[in-house]
């Protein structure tokens, strides 16, 4: 069995490792276009935040370990350039420009996603950077050091933009953030997103919302981000307006595509070609709340999907249930989490949603150190189902979100969720956990 994997990141290396664990004798080849495999991509902003830390700390396992200890034929600096599904082969090119092909019995496309770079003048200037690969992380860190960056502009306000904003502030860099859309965190309930915006502003970050970017210009040692009615300057510009799935190869071969041009897969991670699987940030998934296809590129899913592909390739049928869109990130002292649908996503998906937003102390009455957290909860009037939860707070948000995430996997009603026996002790919550208070209030509306 020749199992060829395109892409040596989370999904690809998870699949490779598990395939070799499942069947030691299997021929597993990984083609990775960069020179890096198996690193904590999500950890890059936190590494960049600390100039004294070495970026190489983020590498979990080096290429030679995969080769020597696990027997994986891992070829770094090898870029896949074509797939021939009839002859079941992959064409690739090495860094030196050498081209060759490789046959497969089963193929995994785990090509990930790439930062979206607007097709506007100046986005190719030196100092205009994006963060996705470890090499890009190294470039940003090196650029800050070499150019003694004192001011930076971040284009975008998603979670990578916000994590990088914190990282740059930790480097004592003045930061302006700018975006075209007129809402700070569009997926988030307004009360909660205002809590986040206040936190970011409190850390002396300029937030410029609703400014269409026209170009980036070089001016002496500075870069100038030019909008119609605003100009922002810095020595560095970070582009973080989102990512797009690397589905080009799949598209060329005519594989079916899913939401946002991600690669469509069934629950066994199989594409529309029965010998080709896809996993990780390039592939779509079923959403457990809507039952419909969605594209939510997150690390846990990539790892899990990699394992599932390996099992299916090895003949042990595994179906993945789907994603709930559970995510958490930190910006300065705030934890921000979500699971399931926002109110507008719920409307678009055909539900009849009701919503509630509450604030609650994070600790019991009179317990020292209590802060205020916000919870937003969405339920369906027709079925009574819990549809989504969002939270913002200084403590207890990151892991609290997992409880409603489990509830979404089970199609629980708001009422059933409100009956759950959750943990209580004064340092950690009021007697009625804020999630239960939110559920109790939401029940009155549905």
The minimum distance between CB 21 and a second copy, in angstroms, equals 12
432 near a second copy, judged by CB under 8 A: yes
Stretch that binds a second copy, among 119-127, 134-142, 222-230, 428-436 (CB under 8 A): 428-436
Q: Is 333 in the site for a second copy (CB under 8 A)?
A: no
Q: Nearest to residue 267, comparing CAs of 203, 230, 317?
A: 317
Asked if residue 133 binds a second copy (CB under 8 A), the reply is: no
Q: Which helix (H) or strand (E) holds 247?
A: none
Number of residues that bind a second copy (CB under 8 A): 69
To a second copy, the closest distance from the beta carbon of 56 in angstroms equals 9
Angle 340-341-344 from CA coordinates, rounded to 5°: 170
Q: Which of residues 264-303 bind a second copy (CB under 8 A)?
A: 288, 298-301, 303
b vs e for 253-264, b when ≥16 Cβ sit within 10 Å of the residue's Cβ? bebebbebbbbb
Please list, in sequence order, all residues whose beta carbon lies within 8 angstroms of the beta carbon of residue 367, skipping any fewer than 6 positions away: 426, 427
- Rounded to 5 degrees, φ, ψ at 267 are -70, -15
* 414 lies in the binding site for a second copy (CB under 8 A): no
Separation in Å, CA 366 to CA 234, 363, 394, 437: 46, 8, 18, 18
Residue 345 is a binding residue for a second copy (CB under 8 A)? no
Edge to edge, the sheet with strand 128-129 lists: 128-129, 236-239, 151-155, 174-179, 205-209
Q: Considering beta carbons, is residue 2 or 409 the nearer one to a second copy?
A: 409
CB of 432 to a second copy, least distance (A): 7
Residue 240 to residues 131, 168, 233, 337, 378, Cα–Cα distance (Å): 7, 14, 17, 19, 28
- By CB under 8 A, tell whether 421 contacts a second copy: yes
Q: Is 427 in the site for a second copy (CB under 8 A)?
A: yes
**Strand locations in 180-242, DSSP E?**
205-209, 213-219, 222-227, 231-234, 236-239
Which range in 107-115, 213-221, 230-238, 430-438 contacts a second copy by CB under 8 A? 430-438
Site string for a second copy, 359-398 (x = CB under 8 A): -----xxxxx---------------------------x-x
Which of 40, 94, 214, 383: binder of a second copy (CB under 8 A)? Answer: 40
Dist CA 187 CA 301 (whole Å): 20
Stretch that binds a second copy, among 170-178, 209-217, 234-242, 334-342 (CB under 8 A): 334-342
282 is catalytic: no
Q: Which helix (H) or strand (E) holds 7?
A: none
Q: Residue 112 has which token pair? A: 């990930």
From 7, 325, 353, 374, residue interacting with a second copy (rule: CB under 8 A): 325
- The residue (of 261 and 409) whose beta carbon lies closer to a second copy is 409
Find out whether 270 and 264 touch, Cβ atoms under 8 Å. no
Cβ atoms within 10 Å, residue 53: 13
Smallest gap from Cβ 47 to a second copy, in A, equals: 7
Asked if 259 touches a second copy (CB under 8 A), the answer is: no
Closest separation in Å from C-beta 321 to a second copy: 5
Query: Which positions touch a second copy (CB under 8 A)?
Result: 10, 40, 42-43, 46-47, 50, 53, 57-58, 60, 288, 298-301, 303-304, 320-330, 335, 337, 339, 364-368, 396, 398-407, 409-410, 412, 416-417, 419-429, 431-433, 435-436
Q: Which residues are catalytic?
A: 42
């Amino acid at each position: 069995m020749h199992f060829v994997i395109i892409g040596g990141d989370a999904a690809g290396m998870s699949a490779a490792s598990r395939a070799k664990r499942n069947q030691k004798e299997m021929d597993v080849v990984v083609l990775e276009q960069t020179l890096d495999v198996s690193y904590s991509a999500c950890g890059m902003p936190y590494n960049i935040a600390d100039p004294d830390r070495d970026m190489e700390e983020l590498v979990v396992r080096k290429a030679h370990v995969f080769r020597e200890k696990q027997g994986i034929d891992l070829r770094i600096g090898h870029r896949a350039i074509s797939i021939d599904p009839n002859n079941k082969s992959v064409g690739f090119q090495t860094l030196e420009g050498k081209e060759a092909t490789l046959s497969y019995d089963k193929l995994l496309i785990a090509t990930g996603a790439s930062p979206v770079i607007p097709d506007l003048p100046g986005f190719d200037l030196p100092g205009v950077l994006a963060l996705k690969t470890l090499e890009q992380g190294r470039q940003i860190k090196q650029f800050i050091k070499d150019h003694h960056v004192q001011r930076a502009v971040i284009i975008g306000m998603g979670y990578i933009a916000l994590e990088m904003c914190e990282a740059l502030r930790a480097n004592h860099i003045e930061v302006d953030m700018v975006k075209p859309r007129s809402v700070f965190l569009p997926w988030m309930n307004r009360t909660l997103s205002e809590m986040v915006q206040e936190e970011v502003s409190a850390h002396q970050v300029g937030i410029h919302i609703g400014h269409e970017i026209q170009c980036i210009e070089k001016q002496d040692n500075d870069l100038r981000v030019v909008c119609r009615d605003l100009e922002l300057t810095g020595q560095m510009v970070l582009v973080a307006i989102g990512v797009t799935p690397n589905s080009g190869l799949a598209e060329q071969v005519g594989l079916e595509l899913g939401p946002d041009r991600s690669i469509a897969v069934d629950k066994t991670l199989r594409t529309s070609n029965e010998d080709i699987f896809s996993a990780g940030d390039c592939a779509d998934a079923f959403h457990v709340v809507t039952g419909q296809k969605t594209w939510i590129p997150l690390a846990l899913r990539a790892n899990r999907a990699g394992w599932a592909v390996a099992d299916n390739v090895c003949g042990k049928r595994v179906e993945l249930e789907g994603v709930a869109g559970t995510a958490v990130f930190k910006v300065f002292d705030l934890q921000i989490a979500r699971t399931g649908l926002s109110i507008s996503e719920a409307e678009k998906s055909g539900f009849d949603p009701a919503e509630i937003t509450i604030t609650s102390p994070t600790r019991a009455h009179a317990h020292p150190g209590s802060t205020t957290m916000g919870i937003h909860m969405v339920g369906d009037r027709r079925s009574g189902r819990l549809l989504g939860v969002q939270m913002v707070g200084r403590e207890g948000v990151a892991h609290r979100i997992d409880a409603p995430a489990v509830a979404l996997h089970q199609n629980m009603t708001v009422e059933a969720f409100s009956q759950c026996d959750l943990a209580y002790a004064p340092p950690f919550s009021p007697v009625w956990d804020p999630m239960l208070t939110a559920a109790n209030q939401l029940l009155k509306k549905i």
